[in-house]
């Protein structure tokens, strides 16, 4: 019972880290820079949130499978198989959760007063320094919200994970797939125990986020 919990936490943590960097990068790029085909890129980034997870999983299977472009390259070049490994769990969770990180980061960057960034550039700061010292710190609440929601979504990912990684006990069986399997074979006590763990963990994440945001607001918006 503990193996799915440990694997889920590992997968969700790694997926969140990857989604954080990708989400912040694309949000900044599409919000602060003139990028050709901006609407197309944004649609692609948001699409996994709209499509059914099974479709996302199928598309990932076509890309990372043995005959897929990336899957075949990794297998032939490095001898690495992605499908039906815990890495596949990370990929599935990251792709499905990335839209949440992107949307939160985008909203956070858009809420920053451009005059602060302009003032920093006027004083000779490079674009990266402006981002590091002005844009990113002022976007703190939105970024933190994105991280928490991304982690929660990655932790609960089921459909795409089942398609790409399967449900192999001790290898790719996460909490959601373990709950599914326990229900199928009639182990209701085990399923309920895992459900309680998921609900408690998700509640703690959201409750902690709301508490932090309220405390930050009461202190006048200081980090």
The answer to the question of residue 16 being in a domain is yes
Per-residue pLDDT of the chain (223 residues; tens, 9 = 90+): 689 999 999 999 999 999 999 999 999 999 988 889 999 999 999 999 999 999 999 999 999 999 999 999 999 999 999 999 999 999 999 999 999 999 999 999 999 999 999 999 999 989 899 999 999 999 999 999 999 999 999 999 999 999 999 999 999 999 999 999 999 999 999 999 999 999 999 999 999 999 988 887 777 654 4
How many folded domains does the chain comprise?
1
Q: Which domain holds residue 165?
A: 2-218
pTM: 0.92
Name the token pair of 35.
Answer: 């990028």
3-class DSSP string for the chain:
CHHHHHHHHHHHHHHHHHHHHHHHHHHHHHHHCCCCCHHHHHHHHHHHHHCCHHHHHHHHHHHHCCCCHHHHHHHHHHCCCCCCCHHHHHHHHHHHHHHHHHHHHHHHHHCCCHHHHHHHHHCCCCHHHHHHHHHHHHCHHHHHHHHHHHHHHHHCCCHHHHHHHCCCCCCCCCHHHHHHHHHHCCCHHHHHHHHHHHHHHHHHHHHHHHHHHHHHHHCCCCC
**Domain containing 171 — which CATH number?**
1.10.3720.10
The answer to the question of residue 223 being in a domain is no
The answer to the question of residue 113 being in a domain is yes
The answer to the question of residue 36 being in a domain is yes
The answer to the question of residue 118 being in a domain is yes
pLDDT at position 222 is 46
The answer to the question of residue 168 being in a domain is yes
pLDDT at position 8 is 96
Tell me how far apart the alpha carbons of residues 50 and 42 are, in angstroms, rounded to a whole number. Answer: 13
The answer to the question of residue 75 being in a domain is yes
């Amino acid at each position: 019972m503990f193996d799915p919990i440990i694997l889920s936490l590992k997968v969700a943590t790694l997926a969140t880290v990857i989604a954080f960097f990708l989400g912040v990068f694309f949000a900044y790029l599409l919000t602060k820079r003139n990028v050709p085909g901006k609407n197309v890129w944004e649609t692609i980034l948001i699409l996994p949130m709209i499509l059914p997870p099974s479709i996302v999983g199928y598309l990932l299977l076509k890309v990372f499978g043995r005959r897929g472009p990336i899957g075949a390259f990794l297998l032939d070049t490095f001898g690495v198989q992605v499908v039906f490994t815990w890495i596949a769990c990370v990929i599935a969770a990251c792709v499905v959760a990335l839209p949440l990180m992107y949307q939160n980061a985008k909203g956070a960057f858009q809420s920053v007063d451009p005059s602060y960034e302009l003032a920093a550039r006027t004083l000779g700061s490079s674009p990266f320094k402006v981002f590091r010292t002005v844009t990113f710190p002022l976007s703190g609440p939105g970024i933190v919200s994105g991280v928490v929601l991304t982690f929660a979504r990655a932790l609960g990912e089921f459909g795409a994970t089942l398609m790409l990684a399967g449900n192999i006990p001790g290898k790719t069986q996460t909490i959601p797939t373990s709950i599914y399997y326990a229900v199928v074979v009639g182990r209701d006590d085990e399923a309920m125990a895992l459900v309680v763990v998921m609900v408690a963990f998700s509640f703690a994440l959201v409750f902690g986020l709301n508490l932090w945001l309220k405390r930050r607001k009461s202190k006048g918006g200081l980090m």
